Amino acid sequence: RFADKEGFTLIELMIASAIFVVGIVAAMQSYVSSNNLRIDAEQRTTVYVRTHTVMDEIYRAELGAADEPGTLLGYVPPEFDGFPTFDIDIVYLDGNGNLVSPPLVGVEDLPNPLQVFVTTTSTYLSGREETMTTASIVRR
């Protein structure tokens, strides 16, 4: 460069602009990624709380046949609104691991101990699907 010419050349300005744009894009992408991680963590916590709410309600339910409302085998999980979308599957097993399916005729048909598995399948706003299972043993 000549001594009497001051300032930046066009190529220097183009390189500086490119570096600046790359930095801005990287910062914006990291913001978007961290926001998505935060939203997924909040939704995972929601699924966890809902799953354990269902298990707690089952654990506190009265013993009884499936045709009696509010009983263990007649339990129907509550409806949850909002995101993530949420599907619940409840499985009952006897002490030998055999499937116990309602309706049972009476309380005497209820195995002791009764294994309860609550499986939730949820779809997050990001479109990712996740399955969570919790288990408990109910004794009379």
133 pLDDT more than 80: yes
- Strand, helix or coil at 124? coil
**pLDDT by residue (tens digit) across 88-100?**
888 888 877 777 7
- Percent share of the chain, pLDDT over 70: 83
**pLDDT by residue (tens digit) across 17-46?**
999 999 999 999 999 999 988 988 888 888
What is the pLDDT, as a whole number, of residue 106?
A: 58
Report which secondary-structure segment, H or E, holds 34.
helix 10-60
Confidence of residue 107 (pLDDT cuts 50, 70, 90): low
Please give the structure tokens belonging to residue 81.
Answer: 């609104």
Report which secondary-structure segment, H or E, holds 132.
strand 129-138
Answer with the residue of higher pLDDT: 16 or 90: 16
The DSSP 8-state label assigned to residue 71 in this structure reads: B
